[in-house]
Amino acid sequence: MTDRIIDISGQPVFLNVTNRLLAIRNKEGKSQTLPLGDVAALLISNNAATMTHAVLDGIASSGGIVVICDQKHMPSGMLLPMQGHYIQTERFTAQAAASLPLKKRIWRQIVRDKIRNQATVLKLTGGDDGGLLPLVSLVRSGDSSNIEARAAKIYWRQLFKPVVDFKRDFDQDGINSWLNYGYAVLRAMTARAICASGLHPTLGVNHHNRYNPFCLADDLMEPFRPVVDLAVCRLLSSYSAAAELDAVIKREIISAVLCRVVFNGESITIFNALAKMSASLAFAFENNGRSIALPDDIFAGIQE
């Protein structure tokens, strides 16, 4: 499968399948086609889009995912492949039985990596880390002192400061909607990697909202969020902070989340990095491991 993401958010379209090809037809009757196996993620945020059952079945059967987004470009539902790994049942069992100390160790690792990456974003955009790097060593097992929230307060206060007095609010337009969209794409990519590793996206290591069916995806995507943040920050050199999320901005954000990262010294896509991270988590669940594999540098492909 390729790492192709299809975004349906512009004019009304009709999607169907012909000879294992996904066909997308607009209201003028013009069509474009591509193999179902090339679709890593299909994002639908247009209320006038219609599709056949064969589209949903074909993408899921090929290992891709379908994401339905709301008007704020946040995922309101996902269709994921049912069988992602040949020993899926065993891995579900190990995941459900994972000990609390194991999950706390993994969450500490994730939070530390996220804060390090946030510090890098501040360095790339403002010249210094904003005091985030000293916080990394303060993160304990399970982040019991909530250093993640402390870092976030500093981070969001400084990230867009040269351009706008920013407040992170999921329900606002402009920059917030750009971030929402980027995170929705990243969340979908993470959910696909989790399923491919034979894990269940609902059973998180830290997130545990009873109404959230993607707790584990929200856990594992955390270190990669700063990729979206950096892309959005750089868009402000060309767009107003209040600009509507249009097709051009979406393309730039998707391009960022499809960039290459360094993982174990190797240059790979974020899709592949998420797959390796998820596979290492599955191994940790099965063997009571102490850590998971994380990328060395998530900004290697997008730094100037």
Digit-coded pLDDT (tens) for 194-211: 988 889 888 999 987 766
Lookup: tokens for 304? 């100037």
What lies within 8 Å, CB to CB, of 195 at 6+ separation is: 65, 80, 81, 84, 85, 201
Spatial distance between the Cα atoms of 64 and 23, rounded to a whole number of angstroms: 16
pTM of the model: 0.88
Domains and CATH numbers, the chain: 4-69 (3.100.10.20), 88-287 (1.20.120.920)
The type of residue at 39 is V
Structural element, H or E, at residue 66: strand 65-69
> What per-residue confidence (pLDDT) applies to 11?
79
> What per-residue confidence (pLDDT) applies to 304?
47
> What per-residue confidence (pLDDT) applies to 126?
87
Closest CA to 195 of 223, 217, 221: 217
Spatial distance between the Cα atoms of 273 and 193, rounded to a whole number of angstroms: 9
> What per-residue confidence (pLDDT) applies to 233?
93
> What per-residue confidence (pLDDT) applies to 89?
84
Residue carrying the six token digits 């290459």: 260
Pairing of the two strands 50-51 and 21-26: unpaired
CB 295 within 8 A of CB 262: yes
Q: Which residues of the chain have pLDDT under 50?
A: 304
Q: Which residues face 17 on adjacent strands?
A: 22
> Which phi and psi angles does 68 have, rounded to 5°?
-100, 125
Classify residue 192 by burial, with Cβ atoms within 10 Å: 0-12, 13-18, 19+: buried
Spatial distance between the Cα atoms of 272 and 269, rounded to a whole number of angstroms: 5
DSSP 42: E
> With the C-alpha atoms ordered 161, 165, 169, 174, is the resulting torsion angle positive or negative?
negative
- b/e burial code for range 151-184 (CB count within 10 A of at least 16 → b): bbebbeebbbeeeeebeeeeeeebbbbbbbbbbb
CB 87 within 8 A of CB 278: no
> What per-residue confidence (pLDDT) applies to 86?
62
Structural element, H or E, at residue 190: helix 175-196
> For the chain, how far is it from start to end, CA to CA, in angstroms?
29
> What per-residue confidence (pLDDT) applies to 73?
67
Lookup: tokens for 22? 């996904």
